[in-house]
Amino acid sequence: MVRYLITRLGQALIVVVLVTVIAFLILHLLPGGAARATLGKEATLEQLAAFNHDMGYDRPWIQQYGMYVQRLLHGDLGYSYQLNQSVVEAISQRLPKTMVLSLLSTLLAIVLAIPLGVIQAVRRNRWPDYAITSLSLLAYATPIFFMGLMMIILFSQVWPILPPEAPQGFTVAEVLADPAGLILPTVTLAIVTIAVYSRYVRSAMVDNLNENYVRTARSKGLSERRVVLRHTLRNGLFPVITLLGMYLPALFSGALVVESLFNFPGMGQLFWQAALKRDFPILLGVTVIISIATVVGALVADLLYAAVDPRVRLRGSTS
């Protein structure tokens, strides 16, 4: 177990380092380099040269990367001249709100996907299974923003019970103070997640229901309910924990679209606006932060899984 912990931590660390390398490379592969990216199109050649000298961008790449990492470790992700704000500041205002949205929709997805997946597995190849499978596929094939728009049309135009726009509060508390506004973005983001999770839960449950130990459990005269809930569900759900980690990149990508559609003041919207304005310090900063969040999230999920599943916990390693 300790060995697994160390290896897994080591892997995560390597991945984080590689992420910074990728971000660094993108920054320097930009046309005009980092200086042009930071100062914008109107900057003169002299301004660019001065900036490059100040930032050390005229030194060898290895050294530059070292400085980049050093600044990163000190929490310096650069400065956005367009927002007139440091990147860290901009992100720290937005990140918590994105986390709230992601967390809420993930919770909603888990709460709905597990029973759906279980129903599908227990009634597999009968109509409840087919119905849910069809809906999942449909949800998966629909672009999120189109789905969000359908929700807006349905619930704030045809049947106006919910606001079409997300809460515009500055802090998390202000956002949470307007729960009605949170419903549509959360549900929209959750729908695709539900489709993916429920399909995963279904296949995990089906696999487990075909296992020999389930037959043993039935031979003990247990009710079908007990067999499913006490034996199969536990074993089927353990691996779902790792899925939570694996799904994070997709979740954040979805959040980007949802935040843009509902005008939710989170990191995705910040990123979107920065992309339209070619505000590269923000773009790169957000990319690095969101990637680190992904790595950390996946790490936590894996460790959690290793901690709760005795098959992994006692074997001390996974492949």
Partner 1 sequence: MSESTVRKSSAGQPAAVQPLLELRDLDTDIALRRGTVHALDGVSLEVMPGETLGVVGESGSGKTMTALSIMGLLPPGGRVSGGQILFEGRDLRSLPADEVRRTRGVRMGMVFQDPLTSLNPTMRIGVQVAEPLRVHERVGRAEARDRAIEILRRVGMPRPERIVDNYPHELSGGMRQRVAIAMALVCSPRLLIADEPTTALDVTTQRQILELIDDLREEFGMAVILVTHDLGVIAGRADRVAVMYAGRVVETAATEQLFRSPRHRYTEALLEALPESAIRESGAHARLYSIPGLPPDLSRPLTGCRFAPRCRHVTDECRTTDVTLSTGEHQHACLHPVPAAPAAPVTLPAPVRVEPAPEPAATTAKAGQPAATPVLSVRELVKNYAAHGGGLLRRTAGQVSAVAGVSFEVGPGETFGLVGESGCGKSTVGRLAVGLERPTAGQIMLDGVDIASLTGRERRRMHRQVQLMFQDSYAAMNPRMRVDAILAEPLEIQKVGDGTARRARIATLLDQVGLSRRVLERYPHEFSGGQLQRIGLARSLALQPRLIVGDEPVSALDVSIQAQVLNLMRDLQRELGLAYVFISHDLSVVDYMADRIGVMYLGKLVEVGPARDVVRAARHPYTQALIDAVPSITPNATAARDGVTIRGELPSAVNPPTGCRFRTRCPLAQEICETEPPLAGDGHQVACHFPLRPESSEASARAGAAA
Partner 2 sequence: MTTLSEAVRPGAAPDQPADAAEAPVRGLWRQGLVVFCENRLALVGLGLFVLLAAVCFLGPLFYHTDQVHTDLTAVHLAPGEQGHPLGTDGVGYDQLGRLMLGGQTSIIVGLAAGILATALGTLWGAVAGFVGGWMDAAMMRVVDAMMSIPSLFLFMLLAAIVTPSVPMLILIIGAFAWLGPARLVRGEALTLRSREYVQAMRGMGGTGGRAVRRHIVPNAIGTVIVNATFQVADAILYVAYLSFLGLGVPPPAANWGGMLSDGLADTYSGHWWLLYPPGIAIILIVLAFNFIGDGLRDAFEVRLRRR
Which stretches of the chain bind partner 2, using CB under 8 A?
11, 14-16, 18-19, 21-22, 26, 30-31, 124-125, 137-138, 140-146, 149, 152-153, 157, 192, 196, 199-200, 202-203, 206-207, 210, 246-250, 252-254, 256-257, 260-261, 271-272, 275-276, 278, 280, 283-284, 286-287, 290-291, 294-295, 298
Taking CB under 8 A as the rule, which mask of x and - marks residues 15-54 in contact with partner 1?
A: ----------------------------------------
Report the largest interatomic distance among the alpha carbons of the chain, rounded to a whole angstrom.
84
Beta bridge partners of 85: 80
3-state percent helix, strand, coil for the chain, nearest multiple of 5: 80, 0, 20
11 binds partner 1 (CB under 8 A): yes
3-state SS assignment for residue 34:
helix
Q: Are 156 and 162 in contact (CB under 8 A)?
A: yes
Least distance (Å) between residue 5 CB and partner 1: 10
Residue with Cβ nearer partner 2 (256 or 303): 256
Phi/psi at 86 (nearest 5 deg)? -75, 150
Q: Strand 85-86 to strand 79-80: parallel, antiparallel, or no bridges (unpaired)?
A: antiparallel
15's contact among partner 1, partner 2, none, with CB below 5 to 8 A by partner kind, is: partner 2
d(CA 10, CA 264): 36
Beta bridge partners of 79: 86
Residue with Cβ nearer partner 2 (64 or 291): 291
Q: Which residues bind partner 1 (CB under 8 A)?
A: 3-4, 6-8, 10-11, 211-213, 215-223, 226, 231, 234-235, 238, 309-311, 314-319
